[in-house]
Copies of this chain bind each other. A is one copy, B any other.
Amino acid sequence: MSQLQDAVFRALADPTRRGLFERLCRQGDTTVVGLLADAGVSQPVVSKHLKILKAAGLVHDRHEGRYTYYSARREALGTLVDWTTEMAGFWQDRFDDLDDLLKRMDQ
């Protein structure tokens, strides 16, 4: 159905990509070289994965001189939570204020 939903699920399906997103969630604002360290793949591959994550709205990039700083857009996880919630079909109320919460989280 949802175009965005599909992009998010697809983006997170790859372990390397999930790894990158995880690191960005933990440490936020990191350059490509910074991520390259534990990525286990080459720099072009990292850039490519970041591009996919960005397309899914999971990541944001900020250019500063010759550096590009990437950061996790955690609100994008709302898509995941929404879907999971719908599937579970319960405890909707528990998540009702999630969006606001996530918005507050992203500065």
Contacts and interface: CB of A to CB of B under 8 A. Distances in A.
Interface stretch (A29-37, A39-47, A62-70, A88-96): A88-96
A22 B87 contact: yes
Nearest to A10: B13
Protomer copies: 2
Given A9-B12, A12-B9, A84 B77 contact: yes
Interface residues of A, number: 29
A55 interface: no
4 A-B pairs closest in CB distance: A13-B13, A25-B87, A9-B13, A10-B13
Interface of A: 1, 6, 9-10, 12-13, 15, 18, 21-22, 25-26, 72, 74, 77, 80-81, 84, 87-91, 94-95, 98, 101-102, 105
5 contacts: A1-B15, A9-B9, A9-B12, A84-B84, A90-B101
